[in-house]
Amino acid sequence: MNVLLDNFPEFRDGFIGTVSITAVSSVIALVLGVVIAGFRVSPVPPLRVFGTAWVTLLRNTPLTLLFLIFFFVVPEILFPGMSPFLLGSLALGFYTSSFVCEAVRSGINTVPLGQAEAARSIGMTFAQTLRMVVLPQATRTVIPPLSSIFIALTKNSAIAGAFSVTELFGWQKLMSDRGYEITPVFIWVALGYLVVTFVISGLFRLLERRMEVAR
């Protein structure tokens, strides 16, 4: 208990750090993932190849290596002096985007072909088919996998702590450097992550219930 009370400001900063890096990289992952999924289902071969390469590469690279790339290689290509927070969010977001992409793609693939054919046969345009028939159904199938992807992202954000981004793992490290017993530290950090992941799964369950329809 003392560990938490004595070091509460640092813990609070770490917690806020975890929440904000999760939020920022979720947005990056979602946007990139949907775009890449669009590439992968598009009728344009080079874009499809690019999407496939993107997913294969990012999925088979350890996230830690990706962090190394973003902290040491990317600043050389883009402008140097980006903040660790931004670099960390980008690494996490890029990594997770490949999983989002696959979830979205399989969501689109689960919509029965007949649905779109029926829509076209009653004279709907492409945009109408997409907006009124395909996307609503795809979104519903995508929500459960997205939920576990974002929970995994929260857990992955711990690695950012090792790359000098302020978040909960950083607090664990700091406390063990200060010589506190590791078990209580571990429990508090774990609780911190549990709070974030519970909120995410709660939000997604809410979303799922609101979008539920009888099929």
* Residue 129: DSSP 8-state: I
The counts of H helices and E strands in the chain are 12, 0
Which helix or strand (DSSP H or E) is residue 184 part of? Answer: helix 182-211
For the chain, how many residues are written? 215
CA-CA-CA-CA dihedral for 78, 83, 85, 90, to nearest 10: 0
Does 28 participate in binding other proteins (rule CB under 8 A)? no
Which of 77/214 has CB closer to other proteins?
77
> CA neighbours within 13 Å on the CB side: how many for 130?
4
Per the listing, tokens 């920022």 go with 24
In whole angstroms, the minimum distance from the beta carbon of 100 to other proteins comes to: 9
Alpha-carbon span 40 to 46, nearest angstrom:
10
Which of 85/108 has CB closer to other proteins?
108
Residue 144, token pair as written in the block: 């459960």
Give residues with Cβ within 8 angstroms of 39, minimum separation 6. Answer: 47, 48, 50, 51, 54
> From residue 64 to residue 103, what is the string marking binding to other proteins with x (rule CB under 8 A)?
xx--xx--xx--xx-----------------xx--x--x-
Does 41 participate in binding other proteins (rule CB under 8 A)? yes
> From residue 121 to residue 160, what is the string marking binding to other proteins with x (rule CB under 8 A)?
-----x---x---x----------x--xx-xxxxxxxxx-
Site residue total, other proteins (CB under 8 A): 69
Does 57 participate in binding other proteins (rule CB under 8 A)? yes
Residue from 6, 8, 16, 109 in contact with other proteins (CB under 8 A)? 109
Which residue type sits at 75? P
CA-nearest of 31, 4, 9, 19 to 157 is 19
Residue from 20, 84, 120, 174 in contact with other proteins (CB under 8 A)? 120
Residue ranges in contact with other proteins by CB under 8 A? 41-47, 50, 55-57, 59-65, 68-69, 72-73, 76-77, 95-96, 99, 102, 106, 108-109, 111-113, 115-116, 120, 126, 130, 134, 145, 148-149, 151-159, 161-162, 168-169, 172-173, 176, 182-183, 185-186, 189-190, 193-194, 197, 201
